[in-house]
């Protein structure tokens, strides 16, 4: 017998499935589209994550890699960016233990630095969604200096390492952020699914 779920729960399950696909693709366009899904899940006025968790009240912790290099005040380091390394599952093994964060602390977690510009998880999702084409595309002239710096990361990387586009580091970060979110919400996803199985998936809400 199918389990009836709320509209928020239905959107959550579909958004997480979409995010998993977008985060595991190697295509930059698909990675960039993860910004839209992440914004829907985490940033909108009433985040979908909170709406779907009201009944379940699952404790959600975002496990992230250490960002000591981002917080370093060493003036010789021009830029540093965690990219997929924000996800302990995707990044290289680290000596320091991963951090467990609430949603607000996760969104304010520093993921990159270029000169005086520091970028948080929220910055990457917001700029990728609203300025770089995840949802909206802004003209280069309308970008703020801090937003331009996100692309400058990749320009420098392209010059030193090759194989990068102006969006590479941003999309790599979105892949890492997506992986963190997928891992953090697994318990909630299982709670929403409840007794539903692959052969008897949850029914969509009747309001749709």
The pTM assigned to this predicted structure is 0.83
Q: Is 102 inside a domain boundary?
A: yes
Task: Please tell me the distance from the alpha carbon of residue 39 to that of residue 19, in angstroms, as a whole number.
Answer: 11
Distances in whole angstroms, Cα of residue 110 to Cα of each of 82, 87, 180: 9, 13, 14
Residue at 174 is within a domain: yes
- 136 lies in a domain? yes
Please report whether residue 202 resides in a domain.
no
Is 198 within the bounds of a domain? no
Q: How many domains does the chain have?
A: 1
- Closest by alpha carbon to 149, among 108, 112, 178? 112
**Domain for residue 207, yes or no?**
no
Residue 206 lies in a domain: no
Which residues form the domain of 98?
Answer: 7-193
Residue 161 forms part of a structural domain: yes
Which tens digits make up the pLDDT trace of 126-175? 888 877 777 766 655 555 555 555 655 555 555 555 555 656 778 888 99
């Amino acid at each position: 017998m199918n389990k009836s779920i709320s509209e928020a729960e239905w959107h959550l399950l579909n958004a997480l499935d979409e995010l998993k696909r977008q985060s595991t693709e190697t295509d930059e366009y698909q990675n960039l589209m993860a910004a839209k899904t992440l914004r829907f899940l985490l940033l909108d006025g009433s985040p979908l994550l909170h709406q779907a968790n009201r009944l379940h009240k699952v404790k959600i912790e975002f496990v992230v890699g250490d960002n000591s290099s981002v917080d370093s005040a060493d003036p010789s380091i021009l830029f540093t960016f965690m990219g997929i390394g924000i996800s302990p599952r995707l990044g290289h093994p680290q000596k320091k233990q991963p951090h467990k964060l609430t949603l607000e602390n996760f969104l304010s977690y520093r993921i990159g630095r270029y000169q005086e510009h520091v970028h948080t998880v929220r910055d990457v999702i917001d700029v990728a969604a609203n300025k770089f084409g995840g949802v909206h595309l802004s003209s280069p002239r309308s970008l703020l200096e801090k937003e331009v710096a996100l692309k400058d990361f990749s320009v420098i990387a392209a010059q030193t390492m090759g194989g990068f586009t102006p969006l590479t580091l941003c999309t790599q970060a979105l892949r890492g952020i997506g992986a963190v979110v997928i891992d953090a919400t697994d318990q909630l996803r299982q709670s929403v699914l409840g007794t539903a199985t692959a052969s008897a998936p949850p029914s969509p809400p009747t309001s749709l």
